[in-house]
Amino acid sequence: MARYLFAHPHRPVMYPRLPLHGLHILRQDYDKGKYDDHQITNKIAIFAHADHARDQKTRKSMDSIFDILNGVIIDYKVAQQNCIARHSTDAEIRTTFSATKRAVYLFALARFIDLQCANKPITIYQDSQPCIEVVESNAMSSRVKHTAVPVLYVHEQIAHDKIRMEYIKTAIQPAD
């Protein structure tokens, strides 16, 4: 938000006149009468997505994380991951780890400025079902043991009710 205000001092930031409770719908139309939709919270939410091995030169994955409040982007991150992911689930777990760190910060900020949604878990929308299953189950296996720290951190935040994971179809995922 600070970057936007610095770069655009004469452009107002517009927010809808909706309360911080309730839901709105994201919708992707395919053909006439065919669509996918998903209900999104109007509270603080985060959309997290990783493109596995996106950079053709280094084969590093890309993080794409959007922080949303009341259906409006308040901050975002699009960056290359620091290390090469072995598989797409590894890339998604690392992105979810980054999104969780942002969520913990936003959780504390919401409490500090006394938002109506303070003390409620922040929803992280993720389009990778294996990633969600790994971080929610807190199960380590020989396939994901190298991501133990991110998985344990995300699982701990879920256990402390700071975040919650929710699956969203890739076609509707704004961070994709």
pLDDT digits (tens, 9 = 90+) for 17-75: 655 567 878 788 878 888 888 888 888 999 999 987 676 677 888 889 999 887 788 88
Average pLDDT over residues 145-151: 72
- Which H helix or E strand runs over 46? strand 45-51
Q: With contact defined as beta carbons under 8 Å apart, do 165 and 126 qualify? A: yes
- Residue 174 φ/ψ, nearest 5 degrees: -65, -25
Q: With contact defined as beta carbons under 8 Å apart, do 88 and 127 qualify? A: no
The more confident residue out of 82 and 21 is 82
Structure tokens at 120: 């409620």
- Residue 6 φ/ψ, nearest 5 degrees: -65, -45
| pTM value surpassing 0.75 | yes
Of 36, 40, 42, the closest CA to residue 17 belongs to 42
Confidence of residue 86 (pLDDT cuts 50, 70, 90): confident
**Reduced to 3 states, what is the DSSP secondary structure of residue 97?**
helix
Percent of the chain whose pLDDT exceeds 70: 82
Average pLDDT over residues 139-168: 82
